[in-house]
A and B are shown apart, each in its own frame.
Chain A
Amino acid sequence: MAQSSESPFARRALNLVRLGFNELTVPVLAVVTALVVGGLVMLVAGGDPLLAYLGLWEGAFGDAKAISETFVWATPYIFAGLAVALAFKGGLFNIGAEGQLAMGAVVAAWIGYALPGVLKIELPAFIHIPLAVLGGAFAGGIWGAIPGWLKAKTGAHEVINTIMMNYIILLIASFLLNGPMKDPNPLNVIARTPSIAESARVPRLLPDLRVHWGFVFALGVVVLVWWLLYKTTVGFEIRTVGTNPNAGQYAGMNVAWITVLTMGLSGALAGLAGTIEVTALNYRHELSFSLGYGFDAITVALLGKTHPVGVALAAILMGAMRNGATRMQFLTQVPVDIVSVIQSLILLFVAADVIVRFLFRIRTPKQGDAMMTRGWS
């Protein structure tokens, strides 16, 4: 019985593997094509693509420290990528992950350094850490839910509102970190908060490496989001409203509520990206800490085909590229901007998979879920 490949379990497993391969084909080929085209750009503009890619590889996976740093980089990408992907599933385009993660970081930092003093109590780590993490997620969720609510209530498009709210939170954070929340140490000249309390710090996984439990937590959230989307009623409602809000309406779903909820959850996930950076890595919030996770997250979500597991893989790839970039520059002095070029090419080839399918003669599959074909309204 064990060797029989006819057993339903084995067949199911095989199907799953095959499905996985099928799903992976286009993204993998897109990445390969992007690397080739990026290499050509380097050749034309003066640079050694082979040495550059070797550096990129070494910097990302060359040794234990490199891998640890790749996971450190990947962690915010996983959260932010999940945020954008979840919104996509609900038929919404969340360009505001950047702002939501800033919101999460500000609040988590405040809970981390100020809350014990305000409450005049010592908080044990098993309370303080979850408090900071959930507080940050909640704040991000609020910042995401506002454009969701505006969309449900007035029809105002979430793309514009999330862009506007990115600018607004950037300015609020700039004001707070230069004013009320600035580290009061007289020698401090940087726009940053004080260090968060020891009790609010997420511990590291291994003694000498920076990879932390936040990464494991991120992987857990990947499973959680998968479960939410595919195994719960709410997830079913989100996906239904995402593909066809009218159908959702007829089925008696509260479309407005689902819209707010989707954006709120999306914002909370993005908020976690900022929160984990504060509580597990930097131990404080600094103004220049995020220079575009929220935007890179769009690439991550699409490369991962908006599936939570795909997002996790894409996030690790993205983290590897950003992490490996400095090793690449150390070896070749190639400008790090090349990573952005490659990133845009990946996005191009994933989004316009017609090109990849044409290049590699892959048949177009039957119509999948028609994600994101709606416009402003």
Chain B
Amino acid sequence: MRKLFMLVALLLVVAGVACTAAPTPAPTAAPPTKAPAAPAFRVGLVTDVGKIDDKSFNQSTWEGVQKASKEIPGVTEIKYIETTDPKDYDKNIAQFADAKYDVIVTVGFALTDATYAAAKKYPSTKFVGIDQFLSKDKDHPDWPLSNLVGVTFDEDKAGYLAGALAAQLSKTGTIGAVLGTDVVPPVWRFGEGYRAGAKAINPNINIVVVYHSDVGFDKTFTDPEWGKTTALSQIDKKADVVFGAGGKTGNGALLGAAEKKVFCIGVDTDQYLTVPEAKGCLVSSAMKLLTPSTFNMIKAAKDGAFKGGLYTGPVGLAPYHDLDAQVPAAVKTKIQELDKGLQDGTIKTNVAPAKP
């Protein structure tokens, strides 16, 4: 009994020593690279409640940051923090800002307010908000800020082109789409753009659009099994083109299409490169070019050409790759026409920015 008491007492003493010892190096350890000799240029990235390796927007954006560190001379350090809870947004951004990082990239519309607040608090730091749309209103009275750029994409246009392509390639008159939750506006814009594009080609076409809205945020993009099951269900009902859009859930749909040997269309990046298993069916991808957009913003900041405000990133269809020969020339011409019309504004998708 006494021995036990001693043991615990000893343990507490040790713990106490450790506790008092630990914080002392903290102030000096806080800025880990305090070499003032070379002008360091550092970039930090804060994810939404999601992982950096999500094979979707977090990862694509991070690849833009990585590209910057490889290709822009002087970018000395890049790091990321994965948010585990929305209440940490401010804190995670502050980790980088307090350490005097030069550019902080925040990913996802949910960080809009936190990024805006941080940009006001740290005026000498440049902020890039991916998928974040801002305007001057009561929540953002000082918009625009010179050190914050909100990057958005017209996903509906990319979806529109995908829908138009699918409608032209379909022989059965039924096309499918498997998406993440429609609560996320970019996903909604992809899905509804797809619907609009297909209707524009063939008003009578049967379009089966299924969102994975029945589960929580942490699951909707990481459910390839559901994606595949849903794609197979659509293919059973004669769909012969499947659009898979929603992180790994969408990738599951591509794999389902590949297994049943029907056309599929990827999303976000050129998925010919990211989902090699689907090469045999992947006719194109509805791209939103996150990686180059992020890279360009960092480059602008490095070159002193950073301008605050809104920036609309490029979207479009990826090359046809292996299936080039199976896409008729007339279809290719039509897609080019539509792309041009969407870009100069003569064609409207009429898709609301978010699910009403």
Contacts and interface: CB of A to CB of B under 8 A. Distances in A.
Given A189-B109, A191-B183, A28 B85 contact: no
Given A62-B26, A288-B49, A189 B91 contact: no
A327 B95 contact: yes
A25 interface: yes
Given A21-B8, A54-B29, A287-B183, A325 B110 contact: no
Interface in B19-53: 19, 22-23, 25-26, 29-30, 32, 49
Nearest to B218: A291
Given A191-B183, A326-B91, A24 B8 contact: yes
A170 B355 contact: no
Nearest to A22: B4
A232 interface: no
B88 interface: yes
Given A327-B95, A333-B80, A336-B82, A58 B29 contact: yes
B353 interface: yes
A25 B110 contact: no
Contact of B85 (A21, A287, A291): A291
A58 B26 contact: yes
Most buried by A among B25, B82, B84: B84
Nearest to A328: B81
Contacts of A72: 87
A33 B188 CA distance: 47
A322 B84 contact: yes
Contacts of A333: 79-80
A310 B5 CA distance: 19
Given A61-B23, A63-B26, A174-B213, A326 B95 contact: yes
A155 interface: no
Contacts of B125: none
A330 interface: yes
A57 interface: yes
A25 B80 contact: no
B216 to A, nearest CB: 6
A323 B9 CA distance: 28
A363 B355 CA distance: 62
Contacts of A355: none
A25 B4 contact: yes
Most buried by A among B23, B80, B183, B215: B183
B179 to A, nearest CB: 15
Nearest to B22: A57
A189 B185 contact: yes
B72 interface: no
Most buried by B among A28, A58, A69, A190: A190
A326 B88 contact: yes
Contact of A190 (B96, B109, B135): B109
Interface of A: 18, 21-22, 24-25, 28-29, 32, 54, 57-58, 61-63, 69, 72-73, 170-171, 174, 178, 187-191, 277, 281-282, 286-289, 291, 322-323, 325-327, 329-331, 333, 335-336, 360, 362-363
21 contacts: A21-B9, A32-B11, A57-B23, A174-B216, A178-B213, A187-B133, A187-B135, A188-B354, A191-B183, A277-B87, A287-B183, A288-B217, A289-B86, A291-B49, A322-B85, A325-B84, A326-B81, A326-B91, A330-B96, A333-B80, A336-B84
